[in-house]
Amino acid sequence: MKHLFKQGNKKWPTLLLLHGTGGDERDLMPLAEMIAPEASVLSVKGNVEENGMARFFARLREGVFDEEDLLFRTNELNQFIEESAKEYGFDRHNVVALGYSNGANIAASLMYHMKGALKGGILFHAMVPRRGVQLPDLSTVPVFIGAGKRDPLIPLGETKELVENLKEAGSHVTEFWTEGGHELRREEVDEAKHWFENNFI
């Protein structure tokens, strides 16, 4: 997978950066700098193309995921993290995802399907990746969820369902809601920084 790696403080978790639809491996680097400036960063570009825009998995239409492709791409990403940990020498068991929109959705899919894939997650504007799934134990996997109350792409109830799924699996979930829509707001980023420092530094 196309990616960037930046070596940081090995005592900190490695941040796995996962962009939104149409982004690339450079998109969230400034965000990582704001949230965890000393962290190592593995920033990945999605392997799926939709109308010339990069994504992490296919969808059938807006808000409806191609579940078969989602599972395939989730496995593919998990394997890529494994390989990257060996190549770059970071701790595979100390990886925190930082995802926005489509990237946050595949980060959530890693949590839903792969026990131990992530140490934690910062999910900006995420949806439920898949329903009818028995989640693994997430009691040691804290999650920060940033969302907009007026998001035209993700109904409020969708985010609430994601929060409940994660909580039922044992995750300590921190929600932060803005008055905005699908755009990423500075106050979300600031809250995510506090959350990261409180949980991992």
Phi, psi (5° rounding) for residue 37? -60, -25
Tokens of 122: 């910062």
Select which of 19, 43, 84, 151 is catalytic: 151
Residue 101 known to be catalytic: yes
Residue 91 known to be catalytic: no
Name residues whose C-beta falls within 8 Å of residue 123's C-beta, 6 or more positions apart in sequence.
97, 99, 104, 107, 108, 143, 144, 145, 146, 162
Select which of 43, 101, 109, 171 is catalytic: 101
Phi, psi (5° rounding) for residue 47? -90, -5
Residue 151 known to be catalytic: yes
**Active-site residues: which are they?**
101, 151, 182
